[in-house]
């Protein structure tokens, strides 16, 4: 890989570009900005990417074809998070960005930070200590970049927020503009954002699909159909998609796998909480 591109946005906040990672990292100890620690976190990111590369064959394997044993490593964390969804067609890579965010944030906490955010392309790990709180933007449309504000406090049990849907960095099998999930960890939020976004698929003339590898050669979900384009949907279709998402989300909320869900489909929104 090339060397990292690191830019200081402001004291305590840096932007790091390294390989597939494009992350905005912020860390403070009380009111003290930990700019140097944010810069040094690139070394942790490099270690994690190296471990990913060594295990890529495993990580591209659908859950249904994996052994049940958890691995005491980065792949194990990803497998554990995606396994919570119960969707055997998903691969551990559904939690890759969130896991990288989690482990980078944990490293900064280990360096003495009391408030950390690691925003890895929209998958945001949050670490709050000493009754800290913060406000982060929740995407309502990945196409349009519309945002709303989510307030998180140290006692909320939220350690990560992730978003999936049409127009995102990865392929989606659903018709939602965006599905944002808040959970105890970012890797779990990442896995469930993908799973719940996929749950919104409705077959109708306005929804065009393609086999995943037609849109993304080398995808980890070859043979599965993904959504290529969505036209103007009838209200009944949107309602059906929300019903499907709600049923899937309610099970995850009941089992305490996730804390909150925000979803948007063509201007209509829902919010579900544990």
Instruction: State the SS3 of 182-251.
Output: EECCHHHHHHHHHHHHHCCCCCCCCEEEEEHHHHCCCCCCCCCEEEEEECCCCHHHHHHHHHHHHHHHHH
The tokens of 229 are what?
């384009």
The tokens of 10 are what?
């402001």
Q: What does pLDDT average to over the chain?
A: 91
Condensed to tens digits (0 to 9), the pLDDT of residues 167-182 reads 777 899 999 999 999 9
- Where is pLDDT greater, at 103 or 137? 103
Question: Is a pLDDT exceeding 90 seen at residue 33?
Answer: yes
Contact present, 5 and 36 (Cβ < 8 Å) = no
**CA distances in angstroms from 79 to 16, 43, 150, 188, 267, listed in the order given:** 26, 24, 28, 10, 34
Contact present, 61 and 117 (Cβ < 8 Å) = no
Helix locations, the chain, DSSP H: 35-54, 56-59, 74-83, 96-110, 186-198, 212-215, 235-254
- Residues 103-117: what's their mean pLDDT? 96
- For residues 123, 217, 63 and 89, what is the CA-based torsion angle, rounded to 10 degrees? 90
Condensed to tens digits (0 to 9), the pLDDT of residues 244-274 reads 999 999 999 999 999 999 999 998 999 999 8
CATH architecture of 5-273: Roll (3.10)
pLDDT of residue 2: 65
Q: Tokens 């127009």 — which residue? A: 167
Number of other CB atoms surrounding residue 192 within 10 Å: 32
């Amino acid at each position: 890989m090339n060397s990292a591109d690191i830019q200081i946005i402001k004291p305590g906040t840096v932007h790091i570009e390294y390989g597939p990672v494009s992350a905005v990292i912020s860390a403070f100890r009380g009111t003290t900005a930990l700019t140097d620690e944010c810069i040094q976190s690139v070394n942790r990111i490099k270690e994690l990417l190296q471990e990913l590369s060594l295990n890529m064959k495993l990580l591209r394997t659908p859950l249904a074809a994996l052994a049940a044993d958890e691995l005491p490593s980065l792949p194990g964390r990803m497998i554990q998070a995606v396994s919570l969804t119960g969707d055997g067609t998903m691969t551990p890579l559904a939690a890759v960005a969130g896991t990288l965010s989690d482990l980078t944030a944990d490293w900064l906490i280990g360096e003495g930070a009391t408030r950390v955010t690691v925003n890895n392309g929209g998958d945001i790990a949050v670490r709050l200590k000493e009754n800290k709180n913060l406000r982060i933007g929740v995407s309502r449309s990945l196409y349009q970049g519309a945002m709303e504000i989510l307030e998180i406090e140290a006692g909320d049990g939220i350690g990560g927020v992730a978003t999936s849907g049409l127009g995102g960095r990865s392929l989606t099998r659903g018709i939602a503009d965006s599905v944002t999930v808040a959970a105890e960890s970012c890797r779990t939020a990442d896995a469930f954002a993908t799973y719940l976004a996929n749950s919104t698929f409705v077959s109708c003339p306005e929804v065009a699909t393609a086999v995943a590898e037609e849109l993304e050669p080398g995808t980890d979900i070859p043979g599965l159909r993904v959504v290529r384009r969505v036209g103007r949907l009838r209200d009944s279709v949107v309602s059906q998609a929300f019903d499907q998402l709600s049923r899937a989300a309610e099970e995850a909320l009941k089992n305490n796998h996730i804390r909150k869900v925000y979803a948007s489909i063509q201007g209509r929104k829902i919010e579900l909480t544990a």
